[in-house]
Structure formats: structure tokens, C-alpha cells
Structure 1
Amino acid sequence: MVVRKYTKGELKRPLAGFWIHAAFESPGTDYEEDRISLDEYVSHHPEATFYVRVTGDCMQYSGIETNDLLVVDRSLTPLPGDIIVAVLNGQHILACYIEFMSKIYLMPDNPKYGPHAVNEFDQLTIEGVVPHTILNQRNHNHVRINRLQQLLCVLRKDLPAGTPG
């Protein structure tokens, strides 16, 4: 994993004055009501927050892919199941933090990679917990297209014989 650290800025972006529903919404609700600071939204401790860009597929099944931006909060103590950024034996890693029977495991979320049981010979420094990710939705188009193709195959089976499609 390549880690590129981004510093927080004081720039506040417009925040629309409505909640977006995961269904069809009236276009008449398009108005600007307030301003939002991304730093304030993603962390209760902006001074302890930094951003990294992801390279690699170790957390692909958690929906984290190459070029996604991670919010990393140094003020949070990792809990089992948290995604963390850490330095393991001199190398930056991204993994799911697991505690089991008094041992720490660093678990990728991709079956191509196995878990790492941290032992007494490892040098582990947890850089922070990832409470939020900023996804590039265009990188995830292939997932939606695959689901659409699966749906179309199911619908096609239910069509009466002789129906074009």
C-alpha cells in the first residue's frame, strides 16, 4: 500500500438543505441551506485527522478500492472490526483490526490475502482508525453493471416465449 498523506484545510463546501433519499426525490428540493466542513463532519478531532489515498485491493470486499480516499483519525482507539492504517515491520498497511484470545490479528478483506497474527517479533504502530471513506463511485460502476446484468438475466427467464429481448 502506498500512503500519501493529505493535510486538512479550512475550506467549507456548500451543503444542500435536504437529505438525499435512496429513491426518487422531488427536484424542487434543490436549494442550499448551510455550509459544511468536511474536517468537522468526518472527525470530532480534526487536528488528529489525516487523509490517505488507497493503492491495492486488500480491502476490496469492504468496498475500498484503489484511488479511494480514507479519513484516518489518530484520536480513536481501534475496536475489533475497525479498519486501521498501521505500520507493520516498517511497511504501511491497511487492514481490519481483530482481537481474539488476547492476540491481535490484521485481516485483509480479500480472500486473496491471509490474516497476520501479530507476534512478539513484529513492530506494529497503529497510525489511526478509518471511520470514513470517500469513494470514487465511478470506480464501482462495474459492480452495479454486474448486478444489472444479473437482474436482466433473471427477468429474461421470466419473459413469455417469443418475446424479443
Structure 2
Amino acid sequence: MIAHKSNALNIFQPQFTESLGALFFDTGISAGFPSPTEDFEEQQHLSLDKELVRNKETTFYARVSGQSMIGAGLDDNDLLVIDRSLAPANNKIAVCFLDGEFTVKRLRVDKDEIWLQPENPNYPIIRVTEDNDFVVWGIVTNVIKKV
């Protein structure tokens, strides 16, 4: 269910279920030599909601649209996990509402000034002033990528 759609982000409210989740093998996946098959005998279940969501009532997902945060590892079509209960702070990656549009940028707070810093040199740093309609909407806690 889309809660809000803009040019930069589509924001979704998670729908939690009581399912057991996907099968999870807590053995560590070797990037070297394969593990013996007996390591996979005990099955567990993993819920991504339980792993990624700290505060159910204040957590949302949003899909990234654009390239302004590629230096921070946020690529076009990645899925962000956003927690609205976390306090904004310097150097955090935040979803902000700026002059009628949602954007995701790194917060830079210096004395009484706020800057929204992209992680791509092809995009300008945005200085937030009193003239802007500005709200820090939430803090990005995780990113889900497709490979």
C-alpha cells in the first residue's frame, strides 16, 4: 500500500504478518570453500520485519528514485527502511520533506544551519533556510537491495 508518492520516493507502510518467515540457516555462508551439508540440518525461520523494524508504529518503507545517494550505497530502486521515531542528528541519512517533495540526503547540522548533502558530486548541496517548507520525516535505518 503506497502511503505517499513523489518524484523522488514512494513511501509504503509495512503490513506485518504473523508468518514464521523464510527459512534461515544460521551457519554463516562461506565465501571461500563450501560448508559441509550437515551444517544445514537444523532449520530456523527468519522474519525480516523482526530483523529490520525496531518500532512497528513508526517504521515505513520507501523506494529510492534517482542517483543522488549512490556514494552512500543507496541506488535507484533500493528499498529504504525509515524510522520516524528516531531523532535527526548530524551525519544521519534522512528522508526529508522539502518544499513539497520528499528527498533522501545526509543531514549536515552546523550550529544553526542545516544542509542536505547528496552522496554524488553531480548533485548540489542544499542549504535549508527559514524560507523552505522543511521537515525531517524520518531516519534511514536499513537498505534492501536487489542483486
Q: Do both share a fold (TM > 0.5)?
A: yes
TM-score, normalised to structure 1's length?
0.75
CA distance in 2, matches of 1:69, 1:50: 10
Aligned-partner residue type, residue 2 of structure 1:
L
Q: 1:111 to 1:46 in 2, by over 3 A?
A: same
Match of 1:162 in 2: none
Matches within 5 A, 1:35-74: 35-74=45-84
Give identity over the alignment, percent: 31
CA displacement at 1:76 relative to structure 2? 0.9
CA distance in 2, matches of 1:66, 1:117: 24
CA displacement at 1:57 relative to structure 2? 0.3
Q: 1:63 to 1:30 in 2, by over 3 A?
A: same
Specify the structure having the higher radius of gyration (Cα): 1
1:128 to 117, 133, 138: 138
Which one has the bigger strand percentage? 2
CA distance in 2, matches of 1:14, 1:86: 35
Match of 2:27 in 1: 18
TM-score, normalised to structure 2's length?
0.83
Q: Is the 8 A contact 2:105 2:119 kept in 1?
A: yes
Q: 1:101 to 1:56 in 2, by over 3 A?
A: same
Alignment gaps of 5+ in structure 2: 1-7
1:9 to 1, 6, 16: 16
Which one has the bigger helix percentage? 1
Alignment gaps of 5+ in structure 1: 138-165
Aligned residues: 137
The SS at the match of 2:68 is coil
What whole-Å deviation, never above 9, does each CA across 1:29-53 have from its counterpart, x for those lacking one?
A: 2345322221221122122111111
CA distance in 2, matches of 1:2, 1:129: 14
Regions of 4+ moved over 6 Å: none
